[in-house]
């Protein structure tokens, strides 16, 4: 067994918050590749709903890898993986292949895709498979590295004892709606804060079922945090449409809004459940930065110290 596999054989799983922006999730992909990817991994599976950020994560893990579900790659036919046996000895033979099962199923039968994956793996190639849970029952073997993307990113190395791809799918499919709610609530909160005098740039980070704004200086707004929460909840109650505009913008109703994760939103504000804002700024003890915390769902009823509680 290669040393890298020995070093990771006791790895059960790791969990990260799933960032809500292209740059942040691509950087997480780079971190996952550095910490969890072995040079000897030939089959990598990703699980998650469309729009959850799987492809962006892969761009961070494998810079330069041609993703066959990119808009610019739609006309690359036949799928390169299907010809892997013919070109395995060629000078320009690729080492890593990508395919999106949900996308490719519209062009190729599932058993043909499964056979191509197994052939490539047997030839020593690496295959990265999105929607791995769909092909697994036909493939008959699990991924060496399995990643689920929902509200959180779950990284695991399955063994004979699991987890099965569907186990990961059940978790991330259930949690993804919260990620959409959180992101939309985050943008609504920023929108209202800018309307009431926020001008200083700030950092974004995450908490379970919520978001954190981190400020160098305590914001001076024309409304209290109670009034800020109420105004955001008023926008939620109005059920305002939220729509994708382009790669850096959404529309909140008719208003254009800068956003670096424009596909990760609810369809309208009314889908956001139980938005709660912490009614005071917290002070981060090491950096001295001021933190504003917002959460959705029943998490708002918990103490702040319990939001990321394990177990």
Average pLDDT over every residue of 182-207: 94
Indicate whether 29 and 158 sit together in one domain: yes
Q: Does some domain include residue 247?
A: yes
Average pLDDT over every residue of 247-266: 92
β-bridge partners, 126: 96
Q: Does some domain include residue 258?
A: yes
∠ CA 111-112-116 to the nearest 5 degrees? 115
**Beta strands 210-215 and 203-207: pairing type?**
antiparallel
- In this prediction, residue 10 has a pLDDT band, given cuts at 50, 70 and 90, of confident
pLDDT tens profile 79-111: 878 877 665 555 556 789 999 999 899 889 999
Average pLDDT over every residue of 147-172: 93
- Spatial separation of the C-alpha atoms in residues 217 and 203, rounded to whole Å: 12
User: Does residue 74 carry a pLDDT above 80?
Assistant: no
Mean pLDDT of the chain: 88
Look at residue 310 in the predicted model and tell me its pLDDT: 62
Indicate whether 101 and 56 sit together in one domain: yes
User: Does residue 53 carry a pLDDT above 80?
Assistant: yes
- In this prediction, residue 215 has a pLDDT band, given cuts at 50, 70 and 90, of very high
Q: Does some domain include residue 171?
A: no
Indicate whether 139 and 185 sit together in one domain: no
Domain boundary among 104, 134, 163: 163
Indicate whether 263 and 209 sit together in one domain: yes
**Beta strands 282-283 and 290-295: pairing type?**
antiparallel
User: Does residue 160 carry a pLDDT above 50?
Assistant: yes
Q: Match 């709610």 to its residue by tokens.
A: 181
The residues near 129 (Cβ < 8 Å, ≥ 6 apart) are 43, 44, 45, 46, 98, 99, 101, 117, 135, 143
Q: Does some domain include residue 222?
A: yes
Distinct helix (H) and strand (E) counts, the chain: 8, 14
User: Does residue 295 carry a pLDDT above 80?
Assistant: yes
Indicate whether 154 and 217 sit together in one domain: no
CATH number, residue 15: 3.40.50
CATH number, residue 246: 3.30.980.10
Evaluate whether 270 touches 180 at the Cβ level (below 8 Å): no
Indicate whether 108 and 200 sit together in one domain: no
How many domains is the chain built from? 2
Q: Does some domain include residue 40?
A: yes
Average pLDDT over every residue of 231-260: 95
Indicate whether 99 and 234 sit together in one domain: no
Look at residue 88 in the predicted model and tell me its pLDDT: 52
- Spatial separation of the C-alpha atoms in residues 28 and 17, rounded to whole Å: 9
Q: Does some domain include residue 174?
A: no
Evaluate whether 202 touches 229 at the Cβ level (below 8 Å): no
Domain boundary among 163, 191, 217: 163
Indicate whether 211 and 253 sit together in one domain: yes
Indicate whether 107 and 217 sit together in one domain: no
Q: Does some domain include residue 169?
A: no
User: Does residue 184 carry a pLDDT above 50?
Assistant: yes
User: Does residue 298 carry a pLDDT above 80?
Assistant: no
| Domain encompassing residue 38 | 3-163
Indicate whether 214 and 273 sit together in one domain: yes
Indicate whether 196 and 224 sit together in one domain: yes
Indicate whether 57 and 137 sit together in one domain: yes
Q: Does some domain include residue 93?
A: yes
């Amino acid at each position: 067994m290669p040393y890298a596999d020995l070093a990771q054989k006791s790895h059960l799983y790791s969990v990260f918050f799933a960032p809500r922006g292209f740059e942040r999730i691509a950087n997480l992909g780079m971190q996952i590749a550095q910490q969890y990817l072995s040079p000897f991994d030939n089959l990598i599976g990703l699980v998650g709903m469309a729009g959850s950020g799987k492809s962006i994560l892969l761009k961070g893990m494998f810079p330069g890898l041609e993703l066959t579900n990119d808009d610019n790659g739609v006309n690359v036919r036949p799928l390169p993986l299907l010809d892997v046996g013919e070109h395995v000895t060629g000078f320009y033979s690729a080492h890593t292949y990508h395919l999106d099962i949900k996308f490719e199923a519209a062009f190729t039968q599932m058993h043909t895709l499964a056979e191509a994956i197994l052939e490539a793996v047997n030839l020593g190639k690496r295959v990265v498979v999105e929607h791995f849970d769909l092909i697994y029952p036909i493939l008959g073997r699990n991924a060496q590295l399995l990643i689920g993307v929902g509200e959180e990113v779950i990284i695991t190395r399955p063994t004979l004892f699991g987890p099965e791809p569907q186990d990961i799918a059940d978790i991330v499919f259930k949690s993804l709606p919260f990620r959409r709610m959180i992101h939309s609530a985050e943008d609504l909160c920023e929108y209202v804060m800018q309307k009431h005098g926020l001008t200083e740039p700030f950092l974004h980070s995450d908490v379970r079922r919520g978001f954190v704004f981190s400020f160098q200086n305590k914001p001076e707004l024309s409304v209290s945090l109670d009034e800020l929460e109420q105004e955001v909840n008023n926008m939620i109650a109005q059920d305002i449409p939220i729509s994708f505009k382009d790669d850096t913008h959404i529309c909140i109703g008719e208003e254009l809004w800068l956003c670096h994760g424009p596909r990760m939103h609810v369809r309208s504000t009314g889908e956001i459940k139980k938005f709660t804002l912490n009614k005071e700024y917290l002070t981060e003890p090491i950096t001295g930065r001021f933190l504003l915390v917002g959460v959705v769902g029943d998490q708002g009823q918990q103490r702040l110290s319990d939001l990321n509680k394990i177990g």
